[in-house]
Structure 1
Amino acid sequence: MRIVIDLQACQTPATRNRGIGRYTLSHIQTFVKYAGNHEVFIVLSNNFSETIAPLKAMFSDLLPEDNIKVFCSLTQLVDIGSANSWRHLAMQEVYQDFIAMLKPDVFLHTSIFDALSEGVTGILNGNPGLNAITLYDLIPYRYASHYLADESMRNWYLKKLQLLKNADILLAISEASRLEAIELLNIAPERIVNISSAIGDHFKVCELSESRKAALREQYGLSERFVLYTGGIEFRKNNERLIEAYGQLPKSIRQTCQLVIVCNVDPAARERVLRIAKGAGLSPRELVLTGFVPEDDLVDLYNLATLFVFPAFHEGFGLPALEAMACGVPTLVSNRSSLPEVVGRADAQFDPFDPASIAEAIATTLENPERLAELSRHGLEQAKRFSWERTAKLTLEAFENAHRAHIEERTGQLNGVKAVPEWPLPKLAFVSPLPPSESGIADYSAELLPELARYYDIDVITPQESLSQHWLQANYPCHTPEWFAEHHQQYDRVLYQFGNSHFHSHMFGLLEKRPGTVVLHDFYLSGILNYLQQSGVAPGSFDEALYLAHGYPGISVVAREGYNEAHQRFPVNLAVIDHAQGLIVHSEHSRELATRFYGPGYGDDWASLPLLRAPKQLMDAQEARQQLGLPPDSQIVASFGFVAATKLNNELLDAWLATQENNPRAYLIFVGRNSLDASGQRLVQRIQGSSARQRIRITGFASVEDYNRWLAAADVTVQLRGGSRGETSAAVLDCLVAGKPLIYNAHGSAAELPEGVACRLPDIFTIEQLSAAIEQLLGNPQELADLGAAAIAYRERHAPAEIARRYAEMIEHYAREHGRANRRRLIQRLRALPGHAEQVPTALTELACVITQNTDQLHVPVCYLDISGLSAELSVAERQAIARLLLEKTSHWRIELIERDENGDYFLACVKACEILDIPARADLPLLTRAGDAWLHLEQAVAPARQYARLRRTGTLRRADLSLITPAALSEWLMGNTVAVVQEDSLELSA
């Protein structure tokens, strides 16, 4: 399981130094020790920044630092009353989004009741896992007339109770609290688990020296014998009745014993307590108010006390009673709420509402040495029953049992997954080219739509004026991209079929406006973006996308080698990846390319689904040959798809000519349109110069009918590839699902084909190897038949019905869990908040920054080199060193120059970078860092601006500066004698 725990209870001023904070810290520290193989994350709030480092230190030996997440929040969040209503509601939504990004199987909030802090509390709405809350007590609800008389406080508290009712698991700290929730909130008993409580090991019997005893008595004004109480001065603690009861003790006891109240007492409370004591007849020496006592002194006071009395009539647990027993002091408690289960002895209890009952219990104990000794022995044994180990194990057991039951409950849904509700079907916008567009993706989409329509109510979005297939016309309303841009809110889901051709030109703007699931048929999108810029359809689009995806190495190639080289070398697809609400690819090769270009993590959450290929109902081979005008006894080798250098068509021609040029029965057919580049021209020239030119054809664009005729007629199919750009060959799969013997080289996605379904050549093969394979198959009918049968057996993997089901699963998965989907819902919720429209721009900007900083979206990490401290005129060596950094990508980081303006704010110094690289200038840009970026500022530079400090405080930057690196070392680096190495989580300079 992945268990996420909100630890703000250990941060807020109201709780961190009191019982809840101490309980939570001990509980969770021990829980992490016993979590075993479960993954535990802790969430802290940056609004209590002074507590972050100490808490991280406390968990440093228990959790990886990356498992401690800091939530970035607005301030002014106290949500009782209306003054901060909008800010608090906004942060509730952002908090939900932040927790959802961690994808918890169990999310535990350790303290949802904190009315006056800057914290944000809640459970994860719509959590596909489980929500848990630590339940301390329901005291305010039980005594509402006292605690909830104020309307705003009452409303606040009742909202918190609704969270308790909504939670899947309540971790009660006592059986009394558990039963109280069942009684008052009508919560099902099986949802509440008593995990009990415990205390620190330092609460124990201590042998105090005589000098230590004397020092304590002198410091606090204590007599030889005293009755101790610790806990607080408030309504339910019942201090007034304790003082009254003490006043009823026999004079003989009061003359030799004091009542000592240990707690922080403000002046007003002190005056009131002293007034009560005077009214009860106590002399000034009989009552001692110590005020705040350090923990070490408290332990010693427990050990020094004659008797401990705890008169509270309602406690969630009653830790002071357990502390006292563990220190060996005889202990008497109230017979109400949780205290009987703490003390575990009926004759050590009294009626807290009757001062006489309290007085009698105290008197009969103080006057009986044997009873004192017996209660001391009992307390020591009873205290052993409570431990943080036991509480942690009970917590883990509760989580594991609930998680197991949760999974079992969903098993029926998970087996034979129904990706979406049966009715009403979600409305899906399907954005793709469709027939008659001369695009393989258009044909692919036409095959997918009828199967996907089992799961969605589909509209087609395409710029085409008409659809050629009757099925499409009859079943799917068609809208233009312009219409969709105005009406995209009507759709529950959007699916984009992206390829690297002009048929997809309109999709970039639509995706940015309305994110959806993207099917990335071609990993490289540089071709279409280059076309959009060079044709004037979208001026500057390739330049901007190239800089975004590949930084200065990309735009430097354009400046020095031209656009053709740049679009061949770089995929230029990062904008599409970043805007997608989930990605579907058709091979693991696409994931490998993502890692190669953008670094670890990219592609990890992509869905790799087999490319859909419908079984083709092909005509008889002889009939196909007759229709194509070929002899019945011909031996046909065919290759399918666009004829281009990357398809190695010239190599295929060489191999075929080597053994078949003089075979009058042999035909070589290239089924597809020829390219107009040098490779295509060379292919034509070589065909024309061959003696077999009458038996070699390039068909040009083939209709579906002609394509299938050639596929039916072929004896052997050959699909070769070099320079893969992440696409999956539909032609390879067409050959396989048609049951045609196939020769292919193990390049790109084709390398993922299983052994035995086709004739595999090495990625880099020789002409002789290819020629031998062709000759072997054409001369061996049995081998042809065996490969054909293996290909047919393989085709079920690509069956349209199964692929459509998996499509629907992934679309729904991304709609539920993808960061962009969550962000879209978050923004919608924020816009709907009361008072949102009245917020000033600065408040909305602040909120936008918080959302950005909380976003855990994967991105290429950036190392910002602060050149503000360098002189205006850089030396040649400095220019060369900086240029080397900008152009030489290190461990998938990119380097950006930043400078500080006259207001002390930083910006991306693009003009300076281009000047250093001697390439056409780009305008400077605003600086927006993201989590995981790094900031490399020069030691001799003036102190960084305020935004730097804020980003460090919120944990955005991984490493702040080069404080461990001397100016001399930095100078060496800038002179080019050392190299800056950006590692996964730090920056270093090395020789």
Structure 2
Amino acid sequence: MRLALVTTPPSVRSGIGDYTRHLLPYLARKVEIDVYVAPKYAGEALDADYGGGTARSIDELDPRRYDRILYQVGNESNHAFMAAAMKRLGGTVCLHDWVLFDMALAAWPALGRGGAKGTALALREGGPAQCSRYLRNFLDRRRQKRARVEEPDHAALRGELLAGWHAPEPNGRWTCDFGSFRIPVERSVRVDEVVVDFHAAAGRTLTLWQGSGRAAGFTTRPDHGDDAFEVTPDPARDLVFVLRVEPVEVTPEQRAHGDTRRLGAFVKSIRYRVGERWTDLDLSLPQAHPFVPVTLSRDRFDLPLNGTIVRHADAFIVHSEYVGDHIRRERGAQAPVGRVWHGSERRWDERDRRDVRAGLGLEDEWLDAFLLVSFGGVQPHKRIDKLLDALVVARRSAPNLRLALVGKVAGDFFDAADEVRRRHLEDAVRLTGFVSEEDGWEWLRAGDLSVNLRGPTSGGTSGGIFQSFGLGRAVIASDAAEQAELPDPCTVKVPLGASEVESLARTLVDLATDRERRTRLEQNVRRFVEDECHWQRTADAYLEHLESFPPHRSR
């Protein structure tokens, strides 16, 4: 068989890219493969995992030269080029996610802008129900854009940055219609001066308030948008300040860049003086009452926007019946759909976990702890909040529990470090940030158990779970959607719902105190990898399905 593989090149690192890199050598043992990529990556050298040679432009793919065309498609913006190729060429899709929200927004940018064109695209890619959701989101965005943001009770909030702040930027931070902060000193300490450096668009009036008392005011001019408030705080009032801006509206420059945020003032710095000593507030701190603007991403899990891929593919390979059933509902029961396990490699070893932890530089109290490891992007839909809540409860009975969140923190307005701080878990949780795949494997080797929850879900089978299996580690997962199909002998499943935290905490304590059960789970994991999901078995299953599927319609 001669196979055209449509994917991303090695330089584009992602979960699906890693998947393709692991699968390809095993496929290449039995078929001849040429790799096709987006035109901008054409000519890029392919490493040994890709079979060497160079990547070819999708525009050069001649369907008559191949027995099959195979696409690796998932919810990644770098897959946007595959939509047009699918319409033109057809072929078999390995559909990694049912929700293709990010891919769709990259393929058709008008979706992100809204309006008539965006609505028409939402109808085409998602059908009437998704179009209705899209329109509700658009109207919510427009209402928020036009209405002044409601203020909370600033004095009741804790911390330094209180409310009204957009995400931090390298040189400061935007407020919305207001931004509030507290000077963090004891009530007995006299603060002599507070200075707020800012920039605002021409014609805006800025006022700085301390409690109900106005401390300063300023109206910007076309030639003078940068200034500073220098105020002496009223010692009779709490040191809570609110910077208010009027009017606030989306500027033409913002619209030109697709930015519809309500931007009041850009605060460059906030400083205060006690005696002769000046101190800066840290503008990168999380705020106590987050301002969460409505974005299209709010409804991402309800907007699969996958119509072009699902309608125009000739056949499908999936990793779960959850995704397969969705395809059949759209295409009919006779749609060619083949299910294969996400692959895994035998990477376990017999090193003492204590030694592995020491090699990672973990402190002494972590060396003998019961260590949970979550490998992959740290995102809200992985139910990090529920996991942390359960850890708090479980540590009352098993105080030696520790958790490593291994991966880049991602997600709009999600601050994992603050989630940890608010639960006073700083000593029990490690946030590594982005690590290489190889370093991620070391963390899994160091752990006693892997945890990878989901909800809501894009339908994507977790590569982190199968990486855990490859390191010989059992997994705690959610008993829902695609995760419900994970093999029971290797996986401990926790139901979603009102009892989730209680159930998860009980599971953590039970596993932390039952070495024999953990040993059985790990033995089952190794058998599952050997017998069912090793990459060679996954590649063989691919070929069986490709041979049974119809060829691409453009052949």
User: What TM-score, normalized to structure 1?
Assistant: 0.37
Contact 1:532 1:541 in 2 (8 A): no
TM-superposition CA deviations, 1:649-684 (whole Å, max 9, x none): 110011012222796643211112112423x22x32
Distance 1:659 1:804 in 2: 41
**Deviation of the 1:489 alpha carbon:** 4.1
- Partner residue, 1:789: 523
Query: In the alignment, which of 508, 519, 526 is matched to residue 94 of structure 2?
Result: 519
Query: In the alignment, which of 676, 699, 705 is matched to residue 432 of structure 2?
Result: 699
- The yes-or-no answer on 1:805 pairing with 2:540 is yes
Distance 1:619 1:431 in 2: 38
Distance 2:473 2:398 in 1: 22
Q: 1:797 to 1:735 in 2, by over 3 A?
A: same
Give the aligned residue type for 1:650: D
**Deviation of the 1:469 alpha carbon:** 7.5
Contact 1:593 1:726 in 2 (8 A): no
Query: In the alignment, which of 5, 24, 48 is matched to residue 449 of structure 1?
Result: 24
- Partner residue, 1:684: 417
Equivalent residues in 2 for 1:15-164 (5 A)? none
**Deviation of the 1:810 alpha carbon:** 1.5
Secondary structure in structure 2 of the residue aligned to 1:699: strand
Q: Which consecutive unaligned segments of at least 5 residues does structure 1 have? A: 1-425, 826-991
- Partner residue, 1:440: 15
**Deviation of the 1:732 alpha carbon:** 1.9
Structure (1/2) with the larger helix percentage: 1
Q: Which consecutive unaligned segments of at least 5 residues does structure 2 have? A: 139-295
Contact 1:619 1:709 in 2 (8 A): no
TM-superposition CA deviations, 1:495-551 (whole Å, max 9, x none): 100010112122112222221111000111122212444489999996555322433
Give the aligned residue type for 1:590: V
TM-superposition CA deviations, 1:54-84 (whole Å, max 9, x none): xxxxxxxxxxxxxxxxxxxxxxxxxxxxxxx
- The yes-or-no answer on 1:824 pairing with 2:554 is yes
Contact 2:5 2:70 in 1 (8 A): yes
TM-superposition CA deviations, 1:726-763 (whole Å, max 9, x none): 21122222223322132222111111123332222224
Q: 1:436 to 1:688 in 2, by over 3 A?
A: farther
**Deviation of the 1:694 alpha carbon:** 3.3
- The yes-or-no answer on 1:624 pairing with 2:200 is no
Secondary structure in structure 2 of the residue aligned to 1:478: coil
Distance 2:400 2:94 in 1: 43
Distance 2:472 2:100 in 1: 32
Distance 1:533 1:640 in 2: 31
Contact 2:372 2:447 in 1 (8 A): yes
Q: 1:507 to 1:471 in 2, by over 3 A?
A: same
Q: 1:661 to 1:439 in 2, by over 3 A?
A: farther
Distance 1:469 1:661 in 2: 51
Distance 2:360 2:43 in 1: 30
Give the aligned residue type for 2:69: V
Distance 1:661 1:629 in 2: 26
Distance 2:400 2:42 in 1: 45
- The yes-or-no answer on 1:667 pairing with 2:418 is no
Distance 2:496 2:425 in 1: 28
Q: 1:687 to 1:529 in 2, by over 3 A?
A: same
Give the aligned residue type for 1:752: E
- Partner residue, 2:33: 458
- Partner residue, 1:160: none
Q: 1:627 to 1:520 in 2, by over 3 A?
A: same
- Partner residue, 1:375: none
Structure (1/2) with the larger strand percentage: 2
C-alpha RMSD of the superposition: 2.9
User: What TM-score, normalized to structure 2?
Assistant: 0.64
Q: 1:519 to 1:538 in 2, by over 3 A?
A: farther
- Partner residue, 1:60: none
- The yes-or-no answer on 1:731 pairing with 2:464 is yes
Give the aligned residue type for 1:625: R
Contact 1:619 1:712 in 2 (8 A): no
Q: 1:689 to 1:723 in 2, by over 3 A?
A: closer
Distance 1:469 1:576 in 2: 26
- Partner residue, 2:2: 427
Work out the number of aligned pairs and report it.
389
TM-superposition CA deviations, 1:800-837 (whole Å, max 9, x none): 11211121121122245xxxx4x535xxxxxxxxxxxx
The percentage of aligned residue pairs carrying the same residue is 26
**Deviation of the 1:721 alpha carbon:** 1.0
**Deviation of the 1:566 alpha carbon:** 5.2
**Deviation of the 1:457 alpha carbon:** 1.2
Contact 2:348 2:472 in 1 (8 A): no
Distance 1:447 1:467 in 2: 19
Distance 2:467 2:417 in 1: 25
**Deviation of the 1:557 alpha carbon:** 2.7
Give the aligned residue type for 1:636: L
**Deviation of the 1:481 alpha carbon:** 2.9
Q: 1:675 to 1:468 in 2, by over 3 A?
A: farther
- The yes-or-no answer on 1:714 pairing with 2:447 is yes
Contact 1:529 1:542 in 2 (8 A): no
Give the aligned residue type for 2:418: Q
Distance 2:43 2:358 in 1: 33
Q: 1:773 to 1:603 in 2, by over 3 A?
A: farther
**Deviation of the 1:440 alpha carbon:** 1.1
Query: In the alignment, which of 514, 517, 532 is matched to residue 780 of structure 1?
Result: 514
TM-superposition CA deviations, 1:417-465 (whole Å, max 9, x none): xxxxxxxxx3321111243433111111111111111222111122447
Q: 1:479 to 1:538 in 2, by over 3 A?
A: farther
Contact 2:301 2:457 in 1 (8 A): no
Secondary structure in structure 2 of the residue aligned to 1:722: coil
Secondary structure in structure 1 of the residue aligned to 2:489: coil
Secondary structure in structure 1 of the residue aligned to 2:524: helix
- Partner residue, 1:494: 69
Give the aligned residue type for 2:454: R
Query: In the alignment, which of 568, 587, 590 is matched to residue 323 of structure 2?
Result: 590
Secondary structure in structure 1 of the residue aligned to 2:377: coil
- Partner residue, 2:84: 509
**Which structure has the higher relative contact order (CA within 8 Å, separation 6+)?**
2
Query: In the alignment, which of 627, 635, 653 is matched to residue 370 of structure 2?
Result: 635
- The yes-or-no answer on 1:759 pairing with 2:335 is no
Q: Which has the larger radius of gyration?
A: 1
Distance 1:721 1:781 in 2: 26
- Partner residue, 2:338: 607
Contact 1:546 1:554 in 2 (8 A): yes
Give the aligned residue type for 1:605: P
Distance 2:464 2:113 in 1: 32
**Deviation of the 1:602 alpha carbon:** 5.0
- The yes-or-no answer on 1:478 pairing with 2:69 is no
